[in-house]
Amino acid sequence: MAWRGIHISQAARIGLRNAQLLVAINDNEVCIPIEDIAFLVLDTPQSTITGAVMAALSDNGVVIIQSDAKHHPTMMGIPFHGHHKQAEIAHLQIGTSEPFKKRAWQKIIQAKLENQTAHLLSIGRDAGAIPAMVSRVNSGDTANLEAQGARIYWGKLFENYRRADSDDLRNAMLNYGYAIVRASLARAVTASGLIPAFGLFHNSVTNAFNLADDLIEPFRPSIDALACRLFNESCEKAGELTLEHRRALVGIMNEPVKIGYETMTLLAATELFTQSLVRAMKAKNPALLKVPKFVAYTQELSAA
């Protein structure tokens, strides 16, 4: 199983050597087994990569994320390496009923509200009315309790905060972390044989990753928690993401979450979550969807 994320922030030449990824920066070279890599972040416009590398990364299911000059992720390359039952699963997905989608979305939003509650409580904040909302989420969340919970959540998490403020460093941190997890979910979706454009709830005709945008919801509080820690360390509301910020945010994929009774990395959880969706679709039973649960940050986990 792939477990590494590679973040390249300096001018680099990226090639192959003995079927391994070769990264050359100035006079320094490092080789990395491609089968260990889940995603590659090109956080500089000064890196060069060959077609042979692109093909090798695609064959091994590696996602490529390209950032712009301001270090905002702007491109995502997802390999459509064939699942051994690609067509079967695609037909299964296309034929999934609306009631199933609505019940699956209900479970996803309940998990998101539970994880928001767990995050707030872990940092000593009152979760307000969010815990009571969980049991009130109905099929398809027609009352839009997700949005109601979000208004409470952000007000409890940050002071003097607007999610739409593009000049707020907190939003830059959140958006970078969300982009990394979204890319990893898109990778897990395609590896499971699913079509990322066909969502459970999100259905924009211009969005190639509707399903990834559905599945990211329960993971958001884990990303928020990392961004919150980074912001508290920097204590600067304005400014751009530093290299240290970006490297730390790429590390979100190694943050712990739980599925069932097992604690695992967020990267492993994206794969297990997506695989459980396929099983739930086959059984026509949304109860089989294994949603991730928030794990509070501790120094012990950080050092592990």
Is the pLDDT at 149 greater than 90? The verdict is yes
Is the pLDDT at 153 greater than 70? The verdict is yes
The topology under which CATH files domain 4-77 is Ribosomal Protein L15; Chain: K; domain 2 (3.100.10)
User: Which residue spans within 43-124 are E strands per DSSP?
Assistant: 48-49, 63-67, 73-77
Q: How many CB atoms lie within 10 A of CB 8?
A: 18
Q: Are domains 4-77 and 86-303 of this chain identical in fold?
A: no
Amino acid 238: pLDDT = 62
Question: pLDDT per residue over 249-303, tens digit each?
Answer: 999 999 999 999 999 999 999 999 999 999 999 999 999 999 999 999 875 444 4
Amino acid 84: pLDDT = 61
To which residue do tokens 């208004």 refer? 151
**Cα–Cα distance for residue pair 146/214, rounded to 1 Å:** 12
CA 289 to each of CA 104, 200, 231: distance values in angstroms, whole numbers, following the listed order: 7, 13, 33
Question: pLDDT per residue over 57-115, tens digit each?
Answer: 988 888 898 988 777 788 888 776 555 677 899 899 999 999 999 999 999 999 999 99
208-216 own/partner pairs: CB under 8 Å, 24+ apart: 209/76, 209/182, 212/182, 212/185, 212/186, 213/182, 214/105, 214/108, 215/108, 215/185, 215/189, 215/270, 215/273, 215/274, 215/277, 216/178, 216/181, 216/182, 216/185
Residues 144/182, Cβ–Cβ less than 8 Å: no
Q: How many CB atoms lie within 10 A of CB 129?
A: 12
Supply the angle between the helices 169-191 and 243-250 in degrees, to the nearest 10. Answer: 30
3-state secondary structure of 72: coil
Q: Which structure tokens are listed for 186?
A: 């898109």
Report DSSP state, residue 83: P
Question: pLDDT per residue over 199-238, tens digit each?
Answer: 999 999 999 999 999 999 999 999 999 999 998 887 666 6
Amino acid 303: pLDDT = 45
Going from N- to C-terminal start, the domains of the chain cover 4-77, 86-303
- Which amino acid, one-letter code, is at 16? L
CATH of domain 86-303: 1.20.120.920
